[in-house]
Amino acid sequence: MTEELRTEAAEHGRRGRGGAIDWAAVRAEFPILNQVQANGKPLLYFDSAASSQKPQAVIDALETYYSHDNANVHRGLYELSARATEHYEAARRRVAAFIGAQEDEIVFTRGTTEAVNLVARAWCEANLRAGDVILLTELEHHSNLVPWQLAAERHGASLRFVPVMGDDGTLDLDAVPALLTPEVKMFAFTHISNSLGTITPAAEWCSLARSRGVTTLVDAAQSVGHIPVNVKEIGCDFLAFSGHKICAPTGIGALYGTASALAAMPPFHGGGEMIESVRYERSTFRAAPGKFEAGTPPIAGAIGLAAGCDYLDAIGMESIMERDEFLTALLVQTLNSVHGVRAIGPKGKRGALSSFVMEGVHPHDLVTFASEQGLAMRGGHHCTQPLMRKLGLTGTARASLYFYNTEGEIDRMAEILTATRRYFA
């Protein structure tokens, strides 16, 4: 954390007596949350698993870049370009530090989806052969499923899945050792399920996979920014996450890859910037991470992502995790207290979200009615169609939280759900 951010935290009164965080003061740093929605109702934003809101500090970082430092990076020999380049590469160092990585282990991408696609294309091109197996779980978001389906089709490989047991999102953990057979070359899995909140034992799985020579990729879209994440402690080969889910802008994310894994992979995209030398007949490429960043990179996005990391660290990831756990436990308890509502997902610890169903009300109708009361939630299959079919559901409503949500908002959600039930009865 920079001294500037420590000062900013104190000035904004985030911590009261005894060092306790003033969550109301933190919430006040998010301009969008203080507004009125449909029918004059205050906004209740319960869709942070889809995209988090942005604090003023991140908005200011973007404005500063565009107002004072906007230029293309790496190629220019003038001062403005040099400043932009320094900010961009400083952002890479900051993002690397946020997850315990080294600077040359971070590739900037458009988000988790592009990061997974990069590995599914480039790593598989170098390593996957006919007859090989890619191991996934039945919890996966389409972004950590469809790219592997395409890779398997290209290379004559097949997919295998760690099964879900029952309707609470519990995985058959005992099955994993038997599933990691010699044919498995890649084990790609979600860290926290975006639809059920199930938390997977990432470090344990990566250790087991490594002992069997299996490469691992962790989809950390729902964990980075919510819990402390250190890639060295997890022991994964790859890890992907998105900026827009951790208080940073849209259109930016990061792929972590070990230096050896990135070095062994061919480029994903071709173009300017990622080259070392180009001739009419052939080209040579920069070392990683440069060889994976073709064209003009997302400069402002990277700077905004670094600002998001600064912001979260100024609060403290342990404090954010504890706040998430408290609010989520209250959310699940409240959902189960509303007549006709059933929360879906793990009974114990989970990510900061809960899917749920309401008896006799389609999820789309439920979230549409809730929106008219100012409550913003997601309704549908949450990009996990196979999982929904496995659970016998057409879809669910999903309430997802972040540290800027409040206990009062959860109480108001219960009132809205009760009104929804009466309306559709």
Q: Where are the alpha helices (DSSP H) in 316-376?
A: 317-337, 363-371
Round to whole Å and give the CA distance between 295 and 218.
26
**C-beta separation of 160 from 133 below 8 A:** yes
Identity of the residue numbered 329:
A
Pairing of strands 184-190, 133-137: parallel
Round to whole Å and give the CA distance between 3 and 9.
10
Q: Minimal CA–CA distance to 297: which of 110, 27, 37?
A: 110
In which residue are the tokens 């879900």 written?
Answer: 164
Round to whole Å and give the CA distance between 412 and 397.
16
User: Is residue 124 among the annotated active site residues?
Assistant: no
Given its phi and psi angles, is residue 50 left (phi above 0), alpha (psi -120 to 50 degrees) or beta? Answer: alpha
**C-beta separation of 191 from 219 below 8 A:** yes
Q: Which are the contacts of 313, defined by CB distance < 8 A and separation ≥ 6? A: 1, 5, 98
Q: What is the DSSP string of 54-95?
A: --HHHHHHHHHIIIII---SSS--SHHHHHHHHHHHHHHHHH
Identity of the residue numbered 155:
H
Among residues 206, 236, 309, 383, the one annotated as catalytic is 383
Q: Minimal CA–CA distance to 325: which of 405, 221, 244?
A: 405
Q: Which are the contacts of 7, defined by CB distance < 8 A and separation ≥ 6? A: none
Active-site residues, by number, are 383
